[in-house]
Structure formats: C-alpha cells, structure tokens
Amino acid sequence: SLDKRPLPKWYDDAKVGIFIHWGVFSVPSFRSEWFWWDWKGQNSSDVVDFMNKNYPPGFTYADFAKDFKAEFFDPFQWADIFNSSGARYIVLTSKHHEGYCLCKRIFLS
C-alpha cells in the first residue's frame, strides 16, 4: 500500500507545493477540469447546452486538442510566480482522468 511508504524528508519539510492542472479542458473554458466528465459522464444539462450552442454535431472531446496551443505559456514567468509564492515543489499533472497527455503537448511539440 502507498500509505505504508514513508514520506521523503524533503517533501515533509517543504510544507507548501503547487499542483498544476492544465489541459484540453482549457479550450472550451467552461466549468472546470471536469468538463469531459460533466459533458460525457454526467450529461450535465448546462455543459450539453454549451456544446450544442458552440460546437458542431459530432464534435468530440479529442477535437479540442488541436486548439490547445498554450501560446501564452511562459515557463520562466510561472517559475518566478511559484518561487515568489514560497512553494518548495511543483507537480505537473501530466495526464488527467480524461486521458489527454499534457507532457507530450508542451514538452515534445
């Protein structure tokens, strides 16, 4: 069990860290990182209505990927902000529950 493994000393000492959740769900920018689940898993009426009003029939979640360009991503600016916040570590959530791999998009493009 993961619960039985001891925390690394650096992690326990760090106290404050930042977890980054960023991905394809940023393209529609509607609701949250749970957009895919709200749309396809829960069929939430506001999300379904949003999609029907803004995207053509047959549009899929994977179709958002071509528009996820991260054109304003400035890793040096982010690093300055994170450092100023006092955070001692950063974790990039590389693959969300909906299956989109962020590492491939940002770092291998």
The 10s digit of each residue's pLDDT in 66-95 is 999 888 889 999 999 999 999 999 988 888
Question: Band of the pLDDT at 43, cuts 50, 70, 90?
Answer: very high
Identify the three-state secondary structure at position 92.
strand
What region, left, alpha or beta, does residue 43 occupy, with left being phi > 0 and alpha being psi -120 to 50 degrees? left
pLDDT of 18 over the 90 cut: yes
100 near 24, Cβ under 8 Å? Answer: yes
Total count of residues recorded for the chain? 109
Q: What is the pTM of this model?
A: 0.74
